[in-house]
């Protein structure tokens, strides 16, 4: 299976990388946000997914397609974990 | 392969729907409102993406596929907004924290000012009272009498300092009320107080305004400005100067009143003429003052909407060593 590279995928990769750089640049300022490491990992998997989405048009389309979808799955899972963690932290703070 | 991917996409769909439900269900527990809205928007897009992928595998329904690519572009953009919102939240949090710290420090400063200007001033009053009683006794020992006079002078000086601090705290809180005042009785009262502080100094005010009234927009605390300037003239007298004469001139016009206090002291170097109104700047290297009086005088005058500065004497404009003229401009108030 060969995938065609679409312009939207390149734009998405461009935006993803830009936001990723902004996060890295401002990491110190936003790291205090509750469970930031989880939400940051979540974003890293989105970037990874988009990256493999572009890459699958050039090499190993099947493998990279799977990696892309798995990245999205991990991202979704991390998002859920983040939401639960934030809830637990809020609950702890309320109890204090 | 398709089955694996479809299961994977179904898993994503379910997890994302679960997250949306969780956020909506516990909406109030998530603190940052703007972040919550962005999260929901983001998750809605991801769900759309998952749904589109999932439908493709089974029924080959491509209704959503046409929009999928555009929707995917929105994903990182929303993340960008999310980061921006986090930064804003961070800035807001810092602002609130800074405000709290400033308030706390301000309360602490108020407490210290209150202690200095009231409690310590009260102890000073008691010492002053006992000293007055002591001075009324027939003390023949000149050494002891001299010491009592020195203590009295220090107590009066510290009284003036407490007064200045009290005014400073009022100025900080912008509590000074502007009203119509007559400068002449205030200057006379200031002269009497300076005589009390420096009883042994031959000090005199030479004035050209006997029997007149000069009304300005000010406050009784103008007396402290006059005391500060007169004591400054005494502290900065020349080495062998026996008699200290401060000439006071008042020129009143419709809008403004200019009060000039001229002395024959050591004078002030041109480069120090602006700096002397700053805290901790002495008018001369050997001055006994700590620079607080002139600094407070400037604050008082500016608080009253006026101006204060220092010049060389008009009879020797280019020679600072002949003495100084302190000029004060206040708004004129009419007698009616």
Task: Write the CATH number for B184.
Answer: 3.30.565.10
Is residue B69 in a domain? yes
A69 lies in which domain range?
35-96
pLDDT at B287: 46
Is residue B160 in a domain? no
pTM: predicted TM-score of the whole model, two decimal places: 0.53
- Check if B50 contacts A (Cβ < 8 Å): yes
Interface contact A87-B29, CB threshold 8 A? yes
DSSP B313: -
Q: What is the pLDDT of residues B159-215, one digit of tens each?
A: 888 887 777 777 766 667 788 899 889 998 998 888 888 887 888 888 777 678 889
- ipTM tops 0.90: no
Is residue B300 in a domain? yes
Is residue B295 in a domain? yes
B260 burial level (CB within 10 Å; 0-12, 13-18, 19+): middle
Residue A44 pLDDT exceeds 70: yes
Residue B282 pLDDT exceeds 60: no
Domain boundary among B67, B100, B133: B100
Is residue A72 in a domain? yes
Determine how many CB atoms are found less than 10 A away from the CB of residue B285: 5
Is residue B115 in a domain? no
Domain boundary among B100, B123, B143: B100
In chain A, what residues touch B49 (CB-CB under 8 Å)? 72
Q: Which helix (H) or strand (E) holds B256?
A: strand B256-262
- Check if B90 contacts A (Cβ < 8 Å): yes
Interface contact B8-A32, CB threshold 8 A? no
Mutate to test the interface with A, among B76, B78, B84, B93 (most CBs of A within 10 A): B76
Is residue A16 in a domain? no
Nearest to B86 by CA among B46, B29, B33, B22: B33
Q: What's the CA gap between B123 and B136, in Å, rounded?
A: 20
B6 lies in which domain range?
2-100
Do B205 and B335 fall within a single domain? yes
Is residue A71 in a domain? yes
- Nearest chain A residue to B36 by CA distance is A83
- Residue B328 contacts residue B306 (beta carbons within 8 Å): yes
Work out how many domains chain A is built from and give that number. Answer: 1
Pairs across A and B, CB distance < 8 A: 102
Interface contact A66-B1, CB threshold 8 A? yes
Q: What confidence category does residue B286 fall into, taking pLDDT thresholds of 50, 70 and 90?
A: very low
Is residue B264 in a domain? yes
Is residue B139 in a domain? no
pLDDT at B266: 86
User: How far out from the chain centre does Cα B261 lie?
Assistant: 27
Is residue B285 in a domain? yes
B307 burial level (CB within 10 Å; 0-12, 13-18, 19+): middle
- Nearest chain B residue to A11 by CA distance is B73
- Residue A71 contacts residue B8 (beta carbons within 8 Å): no
User: How far out from the chain centre does Cα B284 lie?
Assistant: 26
Tokens for A83, please give them: 């939401």
In chain B, what residues touch A67 (CB-CB under 8 Å)? none
Give how far B296 is from chain A: nearest CA, Å.
Answer: 41
Q: What is the pLDDT of residues B137-151, one digit of tens each?
A: 887 888 888 888 889
Q: What's the CA gap between B45 and B246, in Å, rounded?
A: 83
Nearest to B180 by CA among B307, B303, B300, B304: B304
Interface contact B77-A84, CB threshold 8 A? no
Residue B96 pLDDT exceeds 90: yes
Do B83 and B189 fall within a single domain? no
pLDDT at B58: 67
- Residue B312 contacts residue B260 (beta carbons within 8 Å): no
Work out how many domains chain B is built from and give that number. Answer: 2
- Residue A34 contacts residue A86 (beta carbons within 8 Å): yes
Q: What's the CA gap between B175 and B84, in Å, rounded?
A: 42
In chain B, what residues touch A9 (CB-CB under 8 Å)? 69, 72
Q: What's the CA gap between B262 and B282, in Å, rounded?
A: 18
Q: What's the CA gap between B12 and A72, in Å, rounded?
A: 7
3-state secondary structure at position B328 = strand
Do B202 and B308 fall within a single domain? yes
Residue B283 pLDDT exceeds 60: no
Interface contact B30-A90, CB threshold 8 A? yes
Is residue A26 in a domain? no
Q: What's the CA gap between B151 and A12, in Å, rounded?
A: 82
Do B76 and B197 fall within a single domain? no
pLDDT at B61: 60
Is residue A44 in a domain? yes
Do B331 and B228 fall within a single domain? yes
Do B94 and B237 fall within a single domain? no
């Amino acid at each position: 299976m060969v995938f065609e590279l679409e312009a939207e995928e390149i734009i998405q990769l461009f935006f993803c990388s830009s936001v990723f750089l902004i996060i890295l640049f401002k990491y110190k300022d936003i790291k205090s946000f509750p469970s930031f490491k989880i939400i940051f990992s979540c974003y890293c998997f989105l970037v990874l997914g988009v990256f493999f989405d572009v890459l699958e048009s050039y090499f190993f389309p099947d493998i990279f397609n799977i990696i892309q979808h798995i990245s999205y799955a991990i991202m979704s899972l991390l998002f859920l974990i983040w939401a639960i963690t934030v809830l637990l932290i809020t609950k702890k703070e309320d109890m204090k | 392969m398709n089955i694996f991917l479809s299961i994977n996409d179904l898993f994503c769909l379910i997890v994302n729907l679960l997250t949306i439900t969780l956020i909506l269900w516990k909406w109030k527990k998530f603190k940052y409102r703007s972040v919550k809205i962005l999260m929901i928007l983001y998750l809605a897009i991801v769900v759309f993406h998952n749904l589109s992928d999932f439908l493709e595998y089974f029924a080959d329904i491509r209704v959503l596929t046409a929009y999928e690519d555009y929707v995917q572009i929105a994903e990182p953009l929303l993340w960008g907004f999310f980061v921006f919102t986090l930064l804003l939240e961070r800035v807001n949090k810092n602002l609130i924290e800074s405000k709290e710290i400033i308030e706390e420090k301000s309360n602490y400063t108020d407490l210290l000012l209150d202690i200095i200007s009231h409690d310590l001033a009260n102890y000073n009053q008691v010492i002053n009272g006992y000293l007055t009683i002591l001075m009324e006794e027939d003390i023949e020992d000149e050494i002891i009498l001299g010491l009592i006079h020195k203590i009295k002078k220090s107590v009066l000086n510290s009284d003036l300092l407490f007064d200045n601090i009290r005014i400073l705290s009022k100025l900080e809180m912008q509590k000074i009320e502007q009203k119509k005042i007559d400068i002449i009785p205030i200057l006379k009262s200031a002269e009497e107080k300076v005589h009390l502080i420096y009883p042994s100094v031959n000090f005199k005010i030479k004035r050209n305004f006997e029997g007149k009234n000069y009304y300005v927009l000010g406050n009784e605390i103008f007396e402290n400005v006059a005391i500060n300037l007169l004591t400054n003239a005494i502290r900065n007298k020349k080495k062998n100067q026996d008699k200290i004469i401060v000439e006071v001139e008042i020129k009143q016009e419709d809008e403004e009143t200019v009060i000039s206090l001229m002395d024959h002291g050591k004078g002030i170097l041109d480069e120090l003429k602006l700096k002397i109104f700053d805290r901790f700047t002495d008018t001369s290297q050997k001055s006994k003052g700590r620079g607080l009086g002139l600094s407070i005088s400037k604050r008082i005058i500016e608080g009253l909407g006026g101006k204060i500065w220092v010049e060389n004497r008009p009879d020797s404009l280019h020679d600072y060593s002949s003495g100084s003229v302190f000029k004060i401009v206040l708004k004129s108030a009419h007698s009616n």
